[in-house]
Chain A
Amino acid sequence: MTRVDEIGIGGLGASRRRVEDARFIRGCGNYTDDIKLPGMLHMEVLRSPVAHARIKSIDTSAAWAIPGVRLVLTGEMAAQRNLAWMPTLSYDTQAVLATDKVRFQGQEVACVVADDPYTAKDGCEAIVVEYEQLPAIVNPTQALAPDAPLIRDDKEGQTDNVCYRWEVGDKAGTDRAFARADKVTRLKLHYPRSHPSPIECCGSIANYDPATGKLTVYMTSQAPHIIRAAVALVAELPEHLIRIVSPDIGGGFGNKVPVYPGYVCSILCSILLGKPVKWTEDKSGNLISTGFARDMYFDGELALREDGRILALRFHADTDQGAFFSDAQPSKFKIGLVHSAFACYDIPVGHITARGAYTNKAPGGVAYRCSFRVTEAMFFQERIIAAAAADLGMDPAEFRRVNLVRDDQFPYRTPFGFLTDSGQYRRCLDLGLDAIGYEDFLKDKEEARLRGRRLGIGISTMTEPLGAGNSREYDILGIKMFDSAELRVHPTGKAILRTGAKSQGQGHETTWAQIVSHELGIPAADVVVEEGDTDTAPFGMGTYASRSTPVAGAAVSMVSRKIRAKARKLAAHLLEVSEEDVEWELGRFFVRSAPNRGVTIQECAMAAYGNMPDGLEPGLENNAYYDPPNLTWPFACYLVIVEVDPETGVWDVLRVVAVDDCGVRINPMIVEGQITGGLTEAYAMSNMQFMTFDAEGNCVGSNYLDYLLPTAWETPGFELHEVVTPCPHHPIGAKGVGECAAVGGPAAFVNAVLDALSDTGVRNIDMPLLPDRVWEAITTGRDVSGAPPVKT
């Protein structure tokens, strides 16, 4: 009997071609907007053109008069159903349709349902709203000024624009360490507001069936089970009569986690009309009203010893939260996992304070390709690390080498309580330096400088916490952040697997089957994977924060092992030996003393339905709920070489080298795809992608002409390398990876440009490093800070 070849059956480590591609390349995907139900009506949302105003009146009569218009819904009507406001995933409230005031440009004011989308748009245009404009608050400084107008006057007891305050660490110990420091490096910076902007916008089709009382909603949600729970609570519908289906999703990146008013309105309209109601958001609606990301102001310091050791860190972060605190953050961590900053460095003590401010901007602060605000944290970390090395006159690679946690220090407890459990940080750094030819480059750079060319190299190293999370610490709205899998093996040994996660391009249909294959020896092609339908999938917290492989993926392993345990009993029965005498190798049980006597997993499956021993219940299916003991801690080292044109401030990327250690890779092809995708977003953030506002609160970036995403033309090529340090607590040793490059990447690009400017005295240019900002820095020798001003 030859052993089953794991790669041959598409198991762990196989770069198996993706199963989901078969429908996507044929144009047969099933995205929300592709779904058409009989009798379906179309809804369009009317949005506020101003950022802050009292609503004086809304006249809908002309809209009602348009033939084909079925319903015009206002906040007042929603209020009659107790639905003008809804709770958010962060214990705040958010207006579904504005009744008193509008608090950001693009806020939902009314919606129109009609026979077709064009007529629904006509209806919105016919609505007349009278606004009394109020001063707009467009940044935390304005918001936190003592005389600032109150944005959230709807909230009882709210007397200022503070959304939250948060603090962690040892202040006294940190102050003592700073007092002993040989040198203190300080850096202030702004991580600009951005938008995850998947190409597919949000949308939903709500179908309330008055005959059965059942509500089915097809929608663009990364977390359908959370939505079901939220709908049950908000709309006061019984949870067993709610079915949420997330069909194919055209990218999420965190944008499709929150509950948006559009979804709620489509549900309410369907209930009122007793018909299916479809809402398809347009791009400007998506960009101006749905979960933005970042917009965080840092001011921090590192205490340094002459020999390069970091003695302590401290920083404060002010966050522009927009008008409602509506992103999903674990309830204990108001500002996400920002305290994971500096986790890869051996720093004994630190102190962090943070404050969120309400402003007249769209609500958000979503985890855009990021595990709850770690992107901002890691960016600040790697920028101030570069600044500290410069202050000490030390090579930035050497400075990192001195301070990175050593391999023999694991498990390592960070000053903020995280436990990093594994990694080979120096090895990753050295591999990256080697790959890019660091020493040679430093010489080339000097020579080029003599000829008037400005080359620069940027490094970024980081570990980040992925896979929230263990249930002691992580919950959203009180629901713990576990995940789940259910596996049914059919009589012929084929299987169906369902999980509580929801792929938006990560390829779960392909990789989950590979995990089953690895655990059971069933060929991956024999396992079909389904997700996203709350009527059939086990309860799970969905896909974001790079948590699917660490949590749902682990559940897939664990349920497979339960199946294997039962199959062992069946094997013993078939082989007529006791269970203790049965050995397992991939895909087959055999008798220990007679290895040639064996049965395949497929034979066991058949026996589960046709030849089970007395006392063993029939069938071969099970489920597993997985509560991870810890987060997973991948490590990454990114290196970027740029050339800056001093005449124009334009910079070109010459090389990008990425070393990722995300533990065991299930499907290397898919992992690499995640990394190149993330690096592109990192490049975008550093180079062009940002959203800003004018003084009136008008969003500049409401479309793809103002909100720039890189195309194939600008995007550089990427050179990828790997190191594998298995995760010690994950069943197959995997760690999260989807976000690493987007999290750690931006600092490498920015550090590279600043390195090219190292002789100018410029310490910081805030992102994006637009040519005019770089040029200004070169010509003035001064830092360029803050959100880019609006050009008029």
Chain B
Amino acid sequence: MFKRQVTITVNGEARAVELEPRVLLAHLLREGLGLTGTHIGCDTTSCGACTVLVDGSAVKSCTMLAVQADGHEVRTVEGLTRASELHPVQEGFQEEHGLQCGFCTPGMMMSALALLERNPEPTEEEVRWALSGNLCRCTGYQNIVKAVLWAAAKLRPAGTGGVR
């Protein structure tokens, strides 16, 4: 089948790949680039397990063709940790028990990150709204919301770290 060459910056690194135009971004990340932290949980753009950041916006990568990401910047869960330091969003999820099976977690964290980058001091209601495109079957969301607020507190410049 006909293939196309694309170059996508993934977690800061330019990746050139050749692929069929019908390949979804989620599949490119998982199969082509081996970044299996991005999960797939549905076929109707409903669950958000596949959420990544494309040029800083939360995008469901199961609903975007990889060729559409040509020339753009993609961030995945694998890019959250810097020099083996956890990102506060990751810490928040662990501290507040914001995950159980962990399947929704990468997508949840990426949606949370997109929120905190545009709104560093969200209210509980704003967190709930920002995460409403991500389904979690295990936690009941209460601890996920706490996790995001924990991260927000830690990220605040004058912040003294997370509070329980």
Chain B residues, Cβ within 8 Å of A17: 94-95, 97
Neighbouring A residues of B100 by C-beta, 8 Å: 251, 505-507, 673, 677
Docked CA distance A22–B91 (Å):
9
Residues in A whose Cβ lies below 8 Å from that of B104:
199
Query: Are A21 and B99 CB-contacts (below 8 A) given A26-B78, A118-B22, A676-B142?
Result: yes
Contact with B along A46-62 (1 / 0, CB 8 A): 00000000000000000
Tell yes or no: B36 within 8 A of A by CB: yes
Q: Is B49 an interface residue (CB 8 A)?
A: yes
Q: Which residues of A contact B109 (CB under 8 A)?
A: 25
Q: Is B13 an interface residue (CB 8 A)?
A: no
Asked if B103 and A712 make an inter-chain contact with CB atoms under 8 angstroms apart, the answer reads: no
Contact A118 B20 (CB under 8 A): yes
Cα A250 to Cα B37 in complex, Å, equals 12
The reply to whether A677 and B138 contact each other, CB–CB distance below 8 Å, is yes
Q: Is the CB of B39 within 8 A of A283?
A: no
| Contact (A709, B135) CB under 8 Å given A24-B102, A27-B77 | yes
Q: What residues of A have a CB within 8 angstroms of the CB of B150 in the complex?
A: none
Which residues of A sit under 8 angstroms from B106, Cβ to Cβ?
Answer: 27
Q: How far is the CA of A504 from the CA of B128 in the complex (A)?
A: 25
Name the segment of A173-181, A395-403, A524-532, A713-721 touching the other chain.
A713-721
Residues in B whose Cβ lies below 8 Å from that of A709:
135, 137
- Asked if B135 and A199 sit within 8 Å, CB to CB, the answer is yes
B23 CB–A CB distance under 8 Å? yes
- Chain B residues, Cβ within 8 Å of A27: 35-38, 76-78, 80, 106
Q: Is A201 an interface residue (CB 8 A)?
A: yes
Bound CA span A199–B107, Å: 12
Give the Cβ gap from A305 to chain B, nearest Cβ, in Å.
Answer: 40
Assess the A504–B93 pair: CB atoms within 8 A: no
Alpha-carbon separation in the docked complex, A252 to B93 (Å): 21
Shortest CB distance A232–B (Å): 28
Q: In the assembled complex, which residues on chain B have CB atoms less than 8 Å from the CB atom of A440?
A: none
Which candidate, A28-36, A382-390, A472-480, is the interface stretch facing chain B?
A28-36
Task: Name the CB-closest residue of B to A503.
Answer: B101
Contact status A25-B94, CB under 8 Å: yes
Q: Give min CB distance, A303 to chain B, whole Å.
A: 38
Specify which chain B residues have a CB less than 8 angstroms from the CB of A669 in the assembled complex: 97
Q: Is the CB of B139 within 8 A of A21?
A: no
B143 on interface, CB distance cutoff 8 Å:
yes
Does A712 contact B93, Cβ atoms closer than 8 Å?
no
Report yes or no: B42 in contact with A704, Cβ–Cβ below 8 A: yes
**With a CB–CB cut-off of 8 A, which chain A residues contact B23?**
118
Interface residues on A, range: 35 or more
Tell me which residues from 120 to 162 in chain B have a Cβ below 8 Å from any Cβ of chain A. 127-129, 131-145
Give the residue name and chain of the B residue nearest to A199 (CB). Answer: B41
Within 8 Å of chain B (Cβ to Cβ): is A680?
A: yes
Does B61 touch A at the CB level, under 8 Å? no
Per-position 1/0 for A759-790, Cβ under 8 A of B: 00000000000000000000000000000000
Decide if B143 touches A713 in the complex (CB within 8 Å). Answer: no
- Nearest chain B CB to A25's CB is how many angstroms away? 4
The chain A residue with its CB closest to the CB of B141 is A712
Q: Is A704's CB under 8 angstroms from B44's CB?
A: yes
Assess whether A24 is in contact with B43, with CB atoms less than 8 Å apart.
no
* B99 CB to nearest A CB, Å: 6
Whether A201 lies near B41 (C-beta < 8 A) is: yes
Q: Check B37–A28 contact: CB distance below 8 A.
A: yes
Distance A282 CA – B24 CA, assembled complex (angstroms): 15
Structural contact, B43 and A284, CB atoms closer than 8 A: yes
Cross-chain contact A711 with B44 (CB below 8 angstroms): no
Q: Are B102 and A248 in contact (CB under 8 A)?
A: yes
Closest-CB distance, B126 to chain A (whole angstroms): 11
A715 to B144, CA, bound (A): 12
A199 touching B140, Cβ below 8 Å: no
List residues 80-120 of chain B with CB under 8 A from any CB of chain A. 80-81, 86, 90, 93-95, 97, 99-106, 109
Say yes or no: A251 contacts B78, CB within 8 Å: no
Asked if B68 CB lies within 8 Å of chain A CBs, one says: no
CB-CB under 8 A for A29 and B37, given A21-B99, A200-B103? yes
Q: How far apart are the CA atoms of A198 and B145 in the complex, in Å?
A: 20
Residues of B within 8 A of A506 (CB): 100
Contact between B43 and A283, CB atoms less than 8 A apart: yes
Indicate whether A594 reaches chain B with its CB closer than 8 angstroms.
no
Q: Chain B contacts of A28 at CB under 8 A?
A: 37
Q: Report if B46 contacts A (CB, 8 A).
A: yes
- For A504, give its contact among B47, B101, B141, B143 (CB under 8 Å): B101
A1-49 with Cβ < 8 A to chain B = 17-18, 20-29, 31, 33-34, 36
Contact B128 A21 (CB under 8 A): no
Contacts of B31 in A (CB 8 A): 116
A253 CB within 8 Å of chain B: yes
The residues of B that contact A293 with a CB separation of less than 8 Å are none
A138 contacts partner chain B, Cβ-Cβ < 8 Å: no
**Bound-state Cα–Cα, A680 to B34, Å:** 34
Chain A hits for B133, CB < 8 A: 711
Report chain A residues within 8 Å CB of B128: 712-713
Interface: A211 (CB within 8 A): no
Residues in B neighbouring A26, C-beta threshold 8 A: 37, 77-78, 80-81, 86, 90
Asked whether, in the complex, the Cβ of A250 is within 8 Å of the Cβ of B39, the reply is yes
Are A197 and B137 within 8 A (Cβ)?
yes
With contacts A198-B101, A198-B103, A199-B103 taken as known, whether A704 is within 8 angstroms of B139 at the C-beta atoms is no
The answer to whether B145 touches A712, judged by C-beta atoms less than 8 angstroms apart, is yes
Instruction: Tell me the bound Cα distance from A210 to B20 in angstroms.
Output: 33
CB pair A680 B101 closer than 8 Å: no
Q: Once the chains are docked, how many angstroms separate the CA of A704 from the CA of B97?
A: 26
Q: Does A470 contact B (CB under 8 A)?
A: no
Cβ of A705 under 8 Å from chain B: yes
Residue of B with least CB distance to A287: B42
Contacts of A249 in B (CB 8 A): 101
Decide: B40 and A33 in contact? CB cutoff 8 A.
yes
Tell me the smallest distance from the CB of A660 to a CB of chain B, in Å.
14
A679 interface residue, CB < 8 Å from B? yes
Contacts of B38 in A (CB 8 A): 27
Contact A251 B132 (CB under 8 A): no
Cβ–Cβ < 8 Å partners of B103 in chain A: 29, 31, 198-200, 250-251
Residue of B nearest to A116 (CB): B31
User: Can you list, as one digit per residue, whether each of A692-721 has a CB less than 8 Å from chain B (1) or not (0)?
Assistant: 000000000001110001011101011000
A712 touches B36 (CB 8 A): no
- Contacts A28-B37, A507-B100, A677-B100; A199 near B142 (Cβ below 8 A): no
Residue of A nearest to B95 (CB): A17
A364-401 to B contact mask, C-beta < 8 Å, 1/0: 00000000000000000000000000000000000000
Is A670 an interface position by the 8 A CB rule? Answer: yes
Shortest distance between the CB of A709 and any CB in chain B (Å): 5
Contact of B139 (CB < 8 Å), options: A22, A676, A703: A676
Contact B102 A712 (CB under 8 A): no
Check if A251 sits within 8 Å of B138, measured CB to CB: yes
What's the Cα separation between A506 and B139 when bound, in Å? Answer: 10
Q: Do residues A703 and B137 form an inter-chain contact, with CB atoms below 8 A?
A: no
B contact residues around A712 at 8 Å (CB): 127-129, 131-132, 134, 136, 141, 144-145
In the complex, which residues of chain A have a beta carbon less than 8 angstroms from the beta carbon of B47?
Answer: 199, 283, 704
Q: Smallest Cβ distance from A58 to chain B, in angstroms?
A: 25
B49 touching A199, Cβ below 8 Å: yes
Please list the 7 inter-chain residue pairs (A to B) with the smallest Cβ-Cβ separation, ordered nearest first.
A27-B37, A250-B103, A24-B102, A505-B101, A704-B46, A505-B100, A27-B77
User: 17 A–B contact pairs at CB < 8 A?
Assistant: A21-B94, A26-B90, A27-B80, A118-B20, A201-B41, A250-B39, A251-B100, A283-B41, A504-B101, A505-B99, A505-B101, A669-B97, A676-B141, A676-B143, A711-B135, A712-B136, A718-B140
Given contacts A25-B105, A711-B141, 15 further A-B pairs with CB under 8 A are: A18-B94, A27-B76, A31-B36, A33-B30, A199-B101, A672-B97, A673-B140, A673-B143, A677-B137, A677-B138, A680-B140, A704-B47, A711-B132, A712-B127, A712-B144
**A binding-site residues for B, Cβ under 8 Å:** 17-18, 20-29, 31, 33-34, 36, 116-118, 197-201, 248-253, 282-284, 504-507, 669-670, 672-673, 676-681, 703-705, 709, 711-713, 715, 717-718
